[in-house]
Structure 1
């Protein structure tokens, strides 16, 4: 029996793991010269994400990058839980915390799998607005993880390329943590630490 959600992703033409476009860096926009094109791509991403989120709940949040929709340009929409959409153009991670943690991640491009990925608990990201102005913002915990995940997409990297050493992805049918947001321990005061998610 076919999965209606997977059918939706196929109908949308969402790129799957193995698609060459998902394994190459996206082209950065020339802004503000390509302002209109950039705004249109962002609008298309929001529309696609609205459709996806209407079909399935995402308690941890959701996101989508332009290459997943066959657009080889550096644009992504991140929709963290409880936050407004973050529209990224030409994003770049300019700083990150030493403190990292390990959490389960998934991806629309390999939706039937989940894997454990280590990421910094805080990152600072610089990106452009369609008019060429730049924005710099620091994200923490779940939002940081989601923004980093989408920035990876724009560099041709999937979360499966970042699995914790020695681990393998599991099938979604084995994954039992999808109904709740990521949980985090209080931040460490030390300079470097690795934390596990709360059970």
Structure 2
């Protein structure tokens, strides 16, 4: 996991950067200081950016880690509250047949929102910060966040999931015309 050892300034990679198209590497030593430092840096970065999640490739580290930290904020005023959680080497093991479109933004795609189809329920397994394997079922918004962040580990952004370019709007238009109905 040598990709964790070189410190960056942890700015957020923007759409078009090649790292956002890479398939991230599995974490081999969850208990390493480098892994713990990366998780700490990701927690700080997502908090400062006002996101509900962030993946390691978004801060230029091509490893299979993301943070889910849903809470109401300016970008997602109706987001449910959850404890910030490090998700390491995740796997989606089952999905619902029901798919629903919902509005998403992304720290790597600033000033845009997309109406993205996602499974409404997912069953997952992953390792936590302590290296313990976890098994969970997520629904609705939290399932959406998990799938969005998982996409980053597989070289995708929400733009890759759009069914039509008509499902992409500026964030200012979204706030003015859509947010109050979303």
TM over 0.5: yes
In 2, the alpha carbon distance for the partners of 1:35 and 1:138 equals: 28
Check if 1:51 corresponds to 2:48: yes
Computed over aligned residues only, the root mean square deviation of the Cα atoms, in angstroms, reads 2.0
Structure with max Cα Rg: 1
Task: Flag the 1:44–1:12 CA change in 2: closer, same or farther, 3 A.
Answer: closer
Check if 1:62 corresponds to 2:47: no
Alignment of 1:127-146 (within 5 A): 127-146=126-145
SS in 2 for 1:90: strand
Partner of 2:35: 38
Partner of 2:68: 78
8 Å CA contact 1:35–1:132 kept in 2: the answer is: no
Q: Normalized against structure 1, the TM-score is what?
A: 0.75
SS in 2 for 1:46: helix
SS in 1 for 2:52: strand
Partner of 1:185: none
Long gaps (5+) in structure 1: 1-10, 54-60, 180-197
Q: Normalized against structure 2, the TM-score is what?
A: 0.82
Long gaps (5+) in structure 2: 1-8, 71-79
SS in 1 for 2:69: strand
In 1, the alpha carbon distance for the partners of 2:38 and 2:165 equals: 38
| Structure 1 residue 173, shift from structure 2 partner | 1.5
Partner of 2:170: 171
SS in 1 for 2:37: helix
Q: Deviations over 1:52-110 (max 9, x none)?
A: 23xxxxxxx61111111111111111112311112111111111111111111110001
Partner of 1:108: 107
8 Å CA contact 1:122–1:139 kept in 2: the answer is: yes
The alignment of Structure 1 onto Structure 2 pairs a total of residues equal to 163
